[in-house]
């Protein structure tokens, strides 16, 4: 399929918006006639390629478990539930470790959060999930606490956190030395201690010099 798309792109036959995941493709077309022409172009590219087309109805279009809502000029998204969906998931009374049941709740909430373009759509999906899990005999307290914990983690996660700066500790040490050779020796010994080590050469041999060690951490 990739080679076909490359050929169509070189021939400038691909639409301006074209996205494909495995064998599902999403495109934006100005009208139905243009969409039909492109469908014919795809199916004529290779004998083994056979696409069908689904167009939006009532400004809605399902795609990969997501329902696209056409509110021109913007497009909103929410979880798509097939009309044939029975809500059959892991029953709470199943002989399965409880951690898998909690994980199922978290997975469905994470899916709803990722596919919902607004908090309103996410809230609607949470209400639907409450009914689904209630039919599966999940305790209401467990469902509500899981939703609350999930919301708290997402709200906190959206707020930028500032990493506190660690204060630079300054350690001052007085080391007497008699000549520049001694200073060079001390500097070599302290080279790997991540310290800035300034040395002052004394004017007289009899005098000692104060040296400040400033931590670079």
Cα(185)–Cα(189) distance, rounded to whole angstroms? Answer: 6
pLDDT at 141: 95
Cα(156)–Cα(177) distance, rounded to whole angstroms? Answer: 56
- Looking at residue 67, the DSSP 8-state letter turns out to be E
Q: Which helix (H) or strand (E) holds 78?
A: strand 74-79
Report the DSSP beta bridge partners of residue 172: 212
**Looking at per-residue confidence, does 204 or 86 come out higher?**
86
Of 54-63, 165-174, 201-210, the poorest mean pLDDT is in 201-210
pTM for this model (two decimals): 0.65
Q: Which helix (H) or strand (E) holds 215?
A: strand 211-215
Structure tokens at 144: 């509500």
Mean pLDDT of 81-109: 94
Structure tokens at 165: 């700066």
pLDDT at 164: 56
pLDDT at 46: 85
Q: Work out the number of other CB atoms within 10 angstroms of the CB of residue 175.
A: 15
pLDDT at 79: 96
- Tens digits of per-residue pLDDT, 176-217? 655 566 666 666 666 655 555 555 555 554 444 443 333 333
Structure tokens at 111: 């899916």
Q: How far is CA 89 from the centre of its chain?
A: 26
Q: How far is CA 203 from the centre of its chain?
A: 63
Cα(90)–Cα(93) distance, rounded to whole angstroms? Answer: 9
């Amino acid at each position: 399929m990739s080679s076909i798309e490359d050929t169509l792109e070189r021939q400038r036959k691909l639409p301006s918006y074209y996205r494909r995941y495995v064998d599902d493709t999403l495109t934006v077309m100005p009208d139905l006639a243009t969409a039909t022409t492109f469908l014919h172009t795809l199916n004529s590219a290779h004998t083994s390629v056979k696409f069908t087309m689904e167009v939006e109805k009532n400004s809605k279009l399902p795609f990969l478990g997501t329902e696209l809502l056409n509110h021109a000029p913007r497009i909103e998204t929410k979880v798509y539930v097939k009309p044939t969906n029975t809500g059959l998931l892991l029953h709470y009374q199943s002989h399965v470790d409880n951690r898998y049941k909690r994980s199922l709740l978290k997975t469905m909430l994470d899916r709803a959060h990722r596919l919902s373009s607004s908090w309103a759509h996410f809230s609607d999906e949470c209400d639907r999930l409450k009914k689904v899990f209630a039919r599966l005999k999940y305790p209401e307290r467990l469902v509500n606490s899981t939703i609350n914990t999930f919301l708290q983690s997402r709200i906190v996660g959206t707020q930028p956190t500032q990493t506190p700066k660690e204060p630079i500790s300054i350690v001052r040490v007085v080391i007497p030395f008699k000549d520049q050779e001694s200073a060079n020796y001390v500097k070599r010994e302290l080279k790997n201690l991540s310290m800035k080590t300034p040395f002052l050469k004394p004017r007289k041999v009899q005098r000692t010099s104060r040296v400040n060690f400033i931590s670079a951490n």
